[in-house]
Chain A
Amino acid sequence: MPADDPYSAGPGASLASQPAGGVIYDRGYRRYDGVRLGRLQIALALFWHSLRSSFGIGRGAKAKILPVIAFAGMCLPAAVNSVAVARGGPPVVFYGTYTFPLRVVIMTIFVAVQAPELVSRDLRSHVLPLYFSRPLRRRDYPAAKYAAFTVACLIMIEIPLLLLYLGNIVSAKGSSSVWHQTRLLAGGLGVGALWAVLLAAIGLALACLSAKRAYATGAVAIFFFLTWTLAQIIYSVAGHPVVHAGPHPVAPGVTAVPAITSGQRLAGLISPFTVLDGVRQWLGGKVPGPMAPPGHYGPVYGVMFLVLLAASLTILAIRYRKAGVE
């Protein structure tokens, strides 16, 4: 279009010449005739943006504190293990469970704090109409957010496993030992992927129910801790009091606990974490988990995993079907 003062300098160059009052708009308008990205590439951009903000990148320094601490905490067992192995001792951390209680606590905190970062902020500031008045379709938004947060959880879980692997193979003797470690790692990575897929879904589904970040964080944290505690309580109540005193697993290497009741085998269905561990053991994981192996209830754990995942993704989809329009 005709411009009174067509400018040739870059956008930043005009800054110095602007008067402080700032009422000069008449600098000529330039049409954009460059490349326009399609819907999928826009969704990909949203994915990257969300993945970065999962770790506070592109935000202030404060936003990075928690993700960094959580990640460091997750790497700690790998470091301890590599020291132990380097000294010639047996491995103290296993790929399948990876110091289960620590993983539960750190992932609960990470998901509870970072999932609202991805969804509650946009709800709170009513920014969704701006997304949905752009080429993105309704489902693209939650899909990009879910993909991003799944990858964020994968980074939290899998990178420590890779460090664990590195620590083990540095001290490994012979190629068969390395091969053995690699196979164990593959299993561990698979389990980690299940964790990431499910925790990201549950975290976002709970977080998107509230536009207030504190509530969203509370909802996620309470859900994870409450179900985890409840599973443990029911596990110990359902056991034979004489034979079995507590929910804690017996020493590594000993898999058979005498007289496990059906109640104990099913108690793990209450918490997503124990569901994940039940699935792991059902699929052949040998390392003892926080609870007794599911035994022939294994498929029930598989179904429960799918039900939790489907329910969470359904909530997410429904939440964004109308959001930003009303």
Chain B
Amino acid sequence: MLKYLIQKEFKQIARNSFIPKILIALPLMAILVFPWAANQEITHIQVAVVDKDHSTYSRRLTEKIAASTYFRLTVWTDTYENALSNVEAGKVDIILEFPSDFEKQLLTQNRAKVYIASNAVNTMKGGIGSGYMTSIIRDFADEIRTETLPVTYSHPSLSILNSQLFNPYGDYKIFMIPALLVMLLTIICGFLPALSIVSEKETGTIEQINVTPVKKTTFILSKLIPNWILGFIILTMYMLLAWLVYGLIPAGNLIAIYFIALIYIFVVSGLGLVLSNYSSTVQQAMFMMFFFMIIMILLSGLFTPIASMPDWAQTVTLFNPLRYFVEAMRMIYLKGSHIMDLGKQLLALSLFALFFCGWAVMSYRKTN
């Protein structure tokens, strides 16, 4: 019985005018476009320099900052007000101001001040930008200290050696690739089932199914299994593309990735089917699915670290299946974790899968 229903699902998917196209287009977009767009590295910070000193030292520091890839010096001016109006116009993120006695102070009193003002509207850019700039200025201070002080005179200094484990060049794209895979599977394997039962309600075909002796479990399985197979294909396609385009090969076991992804597909597909069962129109099912997707994605640690969420939000993430899948995929893909290290994630995802698939069977009504 199941065989006939699964064949029917595949024929319908293949004959749909847009689903096969989306199935090809989304993984391509997810590899070629999204990692660049979902990049949170801060570069191109626009700087306005207010140089009231016009001295050698102020010029040297300005050049040092300009040499950094993070900053772009866009405005030179003599007054702070002028620079500020540029900030207001959105042209400048950070103002660097040298007071008129900068060099004099530095040479006579061995200490001088520069001012940094950052635009905190974009907190991330402002915060990280002023952080970068502070470290460049500190660097500069060390430089001139060694120049002006006798070589024999040594001063204690502390330097930090930073090593980025598992993603040695700190490439944000590599960090995002497993996460985007998670999103891709969530969208395709969540939305397709959400549409499936409700669209049969709209066309009326569900009536012809409901009047047959088909078992509820069989019918729900016939909706789940094609998704499972599609997910499998998309997963393979995505990993191949990640390797071809970025040379990224999962550090961990491929079987572990497939295994955990396939459990996860049951979770999202189950959720999709539950929503489809409760909706009476496709529109309704779509809205509900969007609602849950947005919540799930925002509370998953996909874009923002869970550790920096408030406590209550961190508690909420414990009930979000996406959270466990993101964790698991990053661990396997980047860290090369073994499936045995993922006990917590596996258990959580299996429970979610049972819960949603069970609910999908229960909420499917053949008799009203």
- A and B assemble together: no
Which A residues lie at the B interface, using CB under 8 A?
none
